[in-house]
Amino acid sequence: MVRSKSHIAEIILPFLSDLGNCAARTAAATGDIILPRYCAVCGRTLLLHEKFICIYCLADFPFTYNWNMPHNRMADRFNEMIQRDIITSKRQNSDLLIQAESYAYAASLFFYRGESAYRKIPHRLKYHCDIGIGRHFGKMLGKKLADAGQFSDVDMVIPVPLHWRRRWERGYNQAAVIASETAAALGAALREDILMRHRKTRTQTKLDVRSKMENVRQAFRIKKKFLANPPAAGHILLVDDVFTTGATIHACFLALRAVYTEDTRISAATLAFVDNG
């Protein structure tokens, strides 16, 4: 019986594919023996199918689920700052935010509370150059947002920028790592060329709420080439690693709102949200 080439291919290709997958799994297992991988949260040795976090820590993962809630604690905090600016601008007869502002959406992947071990996730990205963990959880964040109605029309993603000197020292912008994966999941354009941090600020870690607001006030601005004609966008998503007081995201919002009218919605997303109740 003579078999056609296509029939032979149907038999051989699945076999070769299984063989390749087996070889890949063997190589990965061998690599885990030589260089073991550990859970970012609890430190347990990861199994072959686990990435960055073990199944036990993933089962207890403190998801916020606020991507499913247009009105949530993070969004409320963000909007409170925006509304304060609207009131202030009206009292001062300022052109900034003089018009009514639509409720700004905001969401994060997980809660960042006290001494919770899950805080190690953004720490590994920010302070230990673990780009992989940023991409992994950035993709997870992006998928959650893509499935949420209020973020489905996002067409531009902008990471909170670092000052050029700090980026040079660190070698990367942790917000941009997260934003790149989030933009890909949303099918949106990633733009790192619009917003800039023109003034180097102190780290926000040990500052109180008022000091944080003052520290980043007017620290961001639109690059000159876009002042007169910014790229068109219907829904911009600002992305950062952690939302604590919201001061940094808010300062970026103000810089964008200076060139984008209220017809362009500006929302925010982060990996983690510090919820102090």
- Per-residue confidence at 35, pLDDT binned at 50, 70, 90? confident
123-150: average pLDDT:
96
Percent of the chain with pLDDT over 70: 75
For residue range 168-183, list pLDDT tens digits in order: 999 999 999 999 999 9
The predicted pLDDT at position 11 comes to 52
Q: Which residue type does 146 have?
A: A
From the list 149, 148, 157, the residue with the least C-alpha distance to 181 is 157
Statement: residue 75 has pLDDT above 70: yes
Statement: residue 276 has pLDDT above 80: no
- Per-residue confidence at 204, pLDDT binned at 50, 70, 90? very low
Statement: residue 208 has pLDDT above 50: no
- Per-residue confidence at 24, pLDDT binned at 50, 70, 90? very low
Q: 25 near 17, Cβ under 8 Å?
A: no
Tokens 């190690």 belong to which residue?
120
Tokens of 199: 């003034």
- Per-residue confidence at 209, pLDDT binned at 50, 70, 90? very low
Whole-number mean pLDDT of the chain?
Answer: 84
66-92: average pLDDT:
83
From the list 269, 213, 243, the residue with the least C-alpha distance to 84 is 213
Other C-beta atoms closer than 10 Å to the C-beta of 4 total 8
- Per-residue confidence at 46, pLDDT binned at 50, 70, 90? very high
Q: Does the domain at residues 62-273 carry the CATH identifier 1.20.1050? A: no
Q: Tell me the DSSP string of 81-112.
A: HHHHHHHHHHHTT-STT-S--PPPPEEEEEE-
- Per-residue confidence at 17, pLDDT binned at 50, 70, 90? low
| Residue predicted with more confidence, 96 or 212 | 96
The predicted pLDDT at position 20 comes to 56
- Give the whole-angstrom CA distance, residue 158 versus residue 176: 8
- Give the whole-angstrom CA distance, residue 165 versus residue 36: 34
Is the pTM for the entire model greater than 0.85? no
Question: Mean pLDDT lowest for which of 46-50, 101-105, 202-206?
Answer: 202-206
- For the chain, the distance separating the N- and C-terminal CA atoms, rounded to the nearest angstrom, is 75
28-44: average pLDDT:
76
Strands (DSSP E) contained in the chain are 106-111, 156-159, 189-190, 195-197, 220-222, 235-243, 265-273
Q: Where are the domains of the chain?
A: 62-273
Statement: residue 38 has pLDDT above 60: yes
Sign of the torsion angle spanned by Cα atoms 243, 240, 138, 150: positive
Radius of gyration of the chain (CA): 22
